Structure 1
Amino acid sequence: MNGIEWTLGVTAVVLPTIAWLSRNSLSELTLYSIFPPLGIIAFGLMWTHFVMGALRRYSGSTSSPHWLYMNISMGLVLSLIVLHPGLLWVALYLDGFGLPPQSHLEAYSTQILFVTLGTIGLLIFLSYEFKRFFGQRSWWKYIEWLQILGMGAIFVHAIGLGGELQLSWFMVVWIFYGLTLAASFVYSRFIYKKGSI
Structure 2
Amino acid sequence: MPLVDRRNTLEHTDGVSKDKLCLIIVWSLSALVATLAFIAWGNDLSWQFGHLNTYLFFPLLGLLAFSVMWSHYVAGTLRELMDVDQTRLTNYYRYTGYAVLTLICLHPGLLIYQLFRDGAGLPPLSYERYVAPGLGWITLLGTASLLIFLAFEFRRIYAKHSWWHFVPEAGDFAMLAIFYHGLRLGSQLRHAGWFVTVWWFYGITLTVIIARSYAKKYANKKARR
TM range (shorter): over 0.9
Q: Is the 8 A contact 1:31 1:88 kept in 2?
A: yes
**TM-fit CA distance, 1:141:** 0.6
Does residue 1:19 correspond to 2:43, yes or no?
no
Distance across 1 between alignment mates of 2:134 and 2:218 = 41
Distance across 1 between alignment mates of 2:119 and 2:52 = 19
Provide closer, same or farther for how the CA distance between residues 21 and 167 of structure 1 changes in structure 2, counting only shifts above 3 A: farther
**TM-fit CA distance, 1:65:** 4.5
Q: What is the Cα-based RMSD across aligned positions, in Å?
A: 1.7
Counterpart of 2:6 in structure 1 is none
The percentage of counterpart residues that share the same residue type is 37
Counterpart of 1:104 in structure 2 is 127
Does residue 1:159 correspond to 2:188, yes or no?
no
Offset from partner CA, 1:82-127 (integer Å, 9 cap, x none): 0000111111111110111221233234311211111111111111
Amino acid at match of 2:101: L
Does residue 1:177 correspond to 2:202, yes or no?
yes
**TM-fit CA distance, 1:66:** 2.7
5+ unaligned residues in a row in structure 2: which ranges?
Answer: 1-21
Match of 1:39 among 62, 79, 98: 62
Larger Rg belongs to: 2
Classify the secondary structure of the residue corresponding to 2:161: coil
Match of 2:100 among 71, 77, 85: 77
Q: Is the 8 A contact 1:57 1:192 kept in 2?
A: no
Amino acid at match of 1:81: I
Match of 2:87 among 58, 61, 64: 64
TM-score (structure 1 length as normaliser): 0.93
Provide closer, same or farther for how the CA distance between residues 188 and 150 of structure 1 changes in structure 2, counting only shifts above 3 A: same
Which stretch of structure 1 is more off in the superposition, 113-122 or 57-66?
57-66
